[in-house]
Structure 1
Amino acid sequence: MPHMTVDYSANLEEQIDIRALCQALHRAMVETGMFEIGGIRVRALRADHCVIADDDPQNAYVHLSLRVGAGRSVEDRKAAGEYIYKAAVAYLADLFATPHFALSFVMDELDADLNWKKNSMHARLRGA
């Protein structure tokens, strides 16, 4: 953990590079210093069918959902979230110049007792 899901309206593919957005978010997550690189995942899911606000076909959105493992303070999570959100806003800056774009971001902490995972990448990335 952490896993970031980028949910976005399909019409954004004409306006931004979605992979580059994922890379910018990944970089920001690493730069927080709060997450081990071997656990970071950033995935984008395109919404081919959606109705946004007044159903204007120019309307577009990005919703970021970050799921993190338990054990970090609220202050640390908030600082990391603000850093990641700032990176998203910077990457998407041109879209805010239009009256047709919305960005949202939520971070959820997973219950440690209900969270199973196994990762063979950690040993390689830790140099062990």
Structure 2
Amino acid sequence: MPHFTMEYSANLDGRVDFTALCQEIHATIMETGLFELGAVRVRAIRCESYAVADLLAENAFIDMSFRVGVGRSKGERKTTGDAIFATVTEYLAPLFETPHFALTLEIREIDPDLSWKKNAIHPRLRAASA
């Protein structure tokens, strides 16, 4: 269960192709070899209302959160975070040329006793790879 979510300020519309960015992040997650394809979710959520730093209209953000199930070491989570952050930083390089953009990433481990799942995608993908 790796779920990657980006919340972004609406003023990035037209400046970032979030569909392409989601696909880049997905590829980076899969390249780690730590996660099963049928479990990976990457999504971007537009934030219409926000207040950033000194409230200039040009200020923009992307806040990334990656929730993973137990079973990966802290080192593996760190390596994954480094890879994702590098991918996103490179993709968004033009935004860092302005003094109005902030990017964050946090990885959280999910408590298995407090997480419920039902996934019909796993059986299909497992059968296809068998």
Pairwise same-fold verdict (TM > 0.5): yes
* Alignment RMSD: 0.9
Cα shift at 1:120: 1.2
Determine the structure 2 residue equivalent to 1:124: 124
Does 2:100 align with 1:100?
Answer: yes
Following superposition, which runs of at least 4 residues in structure 1 exceed 2 angstroms of deviation?
Answer: none
Determine the structure 2 residue equivalent to 1:110: 110
Distance 1:112 1:72 in 2: 13
Q: What is the SS of the residue equivalent to 1:14?
A: coil
Does 2:8 align with 1:8?
Answer: yes
**Normalization by structure 2: what TM-score?**
0.95
Distance 2:59 2:20 in 1: 21
Does 2:78 align with 1:78?
Answer: yes
- In the alignment, structure 2 segments of 5+ residues that lack a partner are none
Distance 1:70 1:20 in 2: 28
Distance 1:15 1:72 in 2: 35
Cα shift at 1:32: 1.1
Q: Alignment identity in percent?
A: 51
Q: Which digits, 9 at most, give the CA deviation of each residue in 1:39-88, with x for residues without a partner?
A: 00011111101110100000100010000001111111111111111111
Cα shift at 1:113: 1.2
**Normalization by structure 1: what TM-score?**
0.96
Cα shift at 1:20: 1.0
Cα shift at 1:14: 2.2
Cα shift at 1:19: 1.0
Distance 2:43 2:8 in 1: 11
Determine the structure 2 residue equivalent to 1:89: 89
Distance 1:58 1:24 in 2: 25
Determine the structure 2 residue equivalent to 1:47: 47
